[in-house]
Amino acid sequence: MSTRRIDLGGVPAGGAADLAGAIAAARLVCFPTDTVYGIGGLLSPSVRDAIVAAKARDTQKPVQVICPSVPFLISWLALGPALREAVERLLPGAYTLLLPHPPGLAFPPPGEVSQRRLGMFGGVVNKPVRTIGVRVPAWPQPAQAMGELPFALLASSANPSGGEAPRAVDEIEPGLLAACDLVLDAGPVAGVASTILDLSAFASERTWRILRRGSADVREVAAVLGADGEVSAGS
């Protein structure tokens, strides 16, 4: 398979349409975010299968969605006022937000988190909640055209499962890079993974949880959301 490479810094203003066409024509794309490089492509089962095969990834593990902009994300998921305000305050930036999975969204399939609730007869029970993981990167300057795409991207970090996420194209494992038929290069990025922030109960209870520590800490999140939160013991 021949791999096409595009220097995103050379994409002219207004060139997002051509970039979108190249991405849509590709089976698997390597691309930058503000944190690490990822692989993925259009929101489709075939792209999900390509990610799973390239990374030797658990087929049951959910993949995240990267939206080009905050307005796109808000409109796509039809967010209510509380979540819309939280998203607008947190993004774009180095967060992966776990939001309630919309009932009418056919793909991607939901992930799941457990929320503690009071049981019918007292005590605390864990209730499974269907979620979708979403990001809006603060796109690096050379990758500004990514913020003008007319669609979201299915994504996972560009490393074999369990490996270290790369901050530049030349840090990506050669076999994984060869599995991509399009590589979008924006030079080195930050190299620190996003903070995974569970907002699945935020609209109803104004609570949140950090499930994975990234570049943001609990004080920063608390200052932004002004709500009750916690850090998972496994983060």
Domain ranges of the chain: 4-101+131-231
H-type alpha helices, the chain? 16-25, 45-55, 70-77, 81-90, 174-178, 202-205, 218-225
- What is the reported pTM? 0.93
Quote the pLDDT of residue 195: 95
pLDDT at 1 over 80: no
pLDDT tens profile 114-136: 876 655 555 556 788 999 999 99
Q: What is the pLDDT of residues 166-220, one digit of tens each?
A: 999 999 999 999 999 999 999 999 999 999 999 999 999 899 999 998 888 788 8
- Asked if residue 13 has pLDDT above 90, the reply is no
Class of the 4-101+131-231 domain? alpha beta
